[in-house]
Amino acid sequence: MVAGCTQLPQQPAKPPAPVPETARYQAMAFDALPGWNRAALEPSLRTFLNGCPRITGAALSRACALGLSVPKGNEAAARQFFESAFTPYALVSSDGPDSGMVTGYYEPIIDGSRWYNAINRYPIFGVPDDLITVDLASISPETRNLRLRGRVEGRRLVPYPTRAEIDSRGPSYPAPVIAWTADPVALFFLQVQGSGQVRLDGGERIRVGYADQNGHPYRSLGRYLVDRGEMPLEQASMQGIQAWAAANPAKLQEALNANPSYVFFRELPVSEDGPVGALGTPLVAGHSIAVDRRWIPLGAPVYLSTTFPLSEERLERLMAAQDVGGAIRGVVRADFFWGTGPDAGAAAGRMRQQGKMWLLWPRGESPPRAD
């Protein structure tokens, strides 16, 4: 040290900024896809074609036109269509792995009422008038699937209230109420699933579908409970969380607030079809998946190789990417739609395992986001 000078403490170096995840698309032969030669493809073709009216991309639209000529019920013709019209691309994350998490979701049926009463005290909200959504698609290619949400204070757009702030006001929150329910945990999972049915007092049912969200990131309730020692990881299923909530009512609201994301709904008619996904068409149980649309265009066929929940039995199936979800983030990430009601919920709540995915993209076309 030089006499008369004071040595300043060294500032710690800033950690490098995380490198954004990107996708690699590796062209494969169909024979390289595990279980492809045994897969039943005719039901997958019908699911793909169901989504075609809402597909906007030129490449997939041309494939849709070809698929419409395949006779219904003809498995050999369905296989010929996929193998001649598409090239399979293995999805690989720049973070390294070619496998990722596969979870399940479903359409719950919960009890409720059109009217507030001493039992049904928890509101199922429609979209508040003060929620502002800003689509960033026109800003740059990197933001084409991003949206900002907030509310206006003076001349500023500020973040929209969190779950804790909304729930603290309860029925007095300034948003339209579609129905009321007695179970805050059922309402929470209704929001996590993104759609559901409400069984009203007289037996009538209404369907509610995702309409918008408050703009805050999704945080896993199961992960929150595991991190705080409330349950072991192997019990962090939907069923395990419901059991914990019943045994710990005093801790419940704090745990729910750990997920600041809040979903608002719209009322839809009940039909024999599944709930409407982000593509805008009804989901098909066992053949529709939710994906990260940054890497997989909605409507595209995606071959999935994983296992059934809590089993070693292989689940290898051609799916259609017809939905998205706040927790579905990543190149190799899927949410498997199981259907409607408690049996579907039992399977969905236990599904959390690794899987691999292949995007089927029209032959001769460049993959949508190739590096």
Alpha-carbon dihedral 167, 169, 172, 174, rounded to 10 degrees: -70
Return the C-alpha torsion angle 84, 89, 90, 92, nearest 10: -170
Q: Three-state SS for 66? A: helix
Tokens read off for 93: 């994350």
Q: Tens place of pLDDT for every residue, the chain, 371 residues?
A: 334 444 444 555 555 555 677 889 999 999 999 999 999 999 999 999 999 999 989 999 999 999 999 999 999 999 999 999 999 999 999 877 789 999 999 999 999 999 999 999 999 999 999 999 887 766 656 656 677 899 999 999 999 999 999 999 999 999 999 999 999 999 999 999 999 999 998 889 999 999 999 999 999 999 999 999 999 988 888 889 999 999 999 999 999 999 999 999 999 988 889 999 999 999 999 999 999 999 999 999 999 999 999 899 999 999 999 999 888 999 999 999 999 999 999 999 899 999 999 999 999 999 986 43
Judge contact between 266 and 211, C-beta under 8 A. Answer: yes
Please answer whether residues 98 and 188 qualify as being in contact, where contact means their C-beta atoms are separated by less than 8 angstroms. Answer: no
pTM metric for this prediction = 0.83
CA distances from 245 to 188, 237, 241, 256 (A): 12, 12, 6, 10
The total of other beta-carbon atoms located within 10 Å of residue 17's CB is 6
Of 49, 50, 80, the C-alpha closest to 67 is: 49
pLDDT of residue 321: 98
pLDDT of residue 325: 86
**59 C-beta neighbours (distance < 10 Å), count:** 18
321 CA to centre of own chain: 11
The tokens for 132 are 């502002």
In this predicted structure, what is the pLDDT of residue 234? 86
**What's the confidence (pLDDT) of residue 5?**
42
Alpha carbon of residue 343 to chain centroid: 20
Residues found in the chain: 371
Cβ–Cβ < 8 Å for 160, 131: yes
